[in-house]
Amino acid sequence: MWINVLAFLIKIAYNNLTEKIQNLEQTKSSQCQQKEEIVDFESLLKRMKMNVNKRQIRIKDFFQEFDELRHGVVTREQFRRLLSQLGFSKLGAMDISDKEFNCLYEKYAASDSRFICWTKFENDMNFDSRLESNGIETNEDGNEKDLDSQKIPFCNIGNNYDYRMLIDTFEKLNKDVRQRGLNVRFVFQDFDRLNSGYITRGQFGRCLSLLDIKVSQCEQNLLEIALCNSKGFNYNEFLSRIEPIVHPKYMYPELLEAKNATNKEKCNENYAPSSLKDTISEIRLLVDFLRIRN
């Protein structure tokens, strides 16, 4: 009898102990889940911006293909697919979990919950470039300072390092063109049949190959980012920086002045005779020259 009572008490104590252990495990798991669910949006956005600037990606080019009506929104599925194309996936440069994606979705959700405002996402990703637009950066105290003596009016460049690299690339190409005496304009104009001043990126690479202008892939990508827009690659702006146009000197005023001076000299040579003897000699010369009979 006492053995049965003891076994019953042990069983009760064991059940209570197992319940306490299960409760502790549940509380720990719930705390871990709460910690995991908290996503730091600022750190996530910072990591994404660093990744985009490092690979020199233009986000606008990706999203505009899916936003045919230019409303500035895409669906949730398209947004996830575009993030994968930008390299934010398990197979890409940076993995984004489902919780991080949900955080982005909540942050950039449009008024219609089915869509995401990609223009707001692009503005946040390009925030640094807006501060450094037109070749101007800020000091630590907030005052503006010139990036270089030659300002570059390209807002597509995302950081100061790329600005300086772009300046060095222009200077290197300018030096190469001057030393080799290249006439580079006609090569670009051959590809521009409509005389619009724009060519495609592929045609830009072919022009560099035809002219044997050697640039690295990183430098070529930087030039394309700086000079490309919806129309294509602005080769006129590119040529104005590597081959400054020398306007010809108009010679017409000088030639007209020289002609007038020559005519004045000829008028002075045709002097009028001053005496009867000179007049008769002039008449004789004309008669002999024209062979006039009396």
pLDDT tens profile 124-173: 877 544 434 444 444 444 444 443 434 445 555 555 667 788 888 888 99
Residue 23 phi/psi, 5-degree rounding, is -65, -40
Terminal alpha carbon distance of the chain = 180
Domains observed in the chain? 43-125 (1.10.238.10), 160-242 (1.10.238.10)
Q: What is the DSSP annotation of 10-78? A: HHHHHHHHHHHHHHHHHHHHHHHHHHHH---HHHHHHHHHHHHHHHT--HHHHHHTT-TT--SEEEHHH
In this prediction, what percent of the chain has a pLDDT beyond 70?
73
Does 287 have pLDDT greater than 50?
yes
Q: Give the pLDDT confidence of 227-285 residue by residue, as tens digits.
A: 888 888 999 989 988 876 565 667 788 888 888 887 776 655 555 666 778 778 878 88
Q: Max alpha carbon distance in the chain (Å)?
A: 180
| Residue 134 confidence (pLDDT) | 41
Of the CA atoms within 13 Å of residue 274, those in its CB half-sphere come to 1
Radius of gyration over every alpha carbon of the chain, rounded to an integer in angstroms: 40
Token pair, residue 129, equals 């470039």
DSSP H or E segment with residue 292? none
Does 63 have pLDDT greater than 80?
yes
Closest CA to 210 of 225, 235, 188: 188
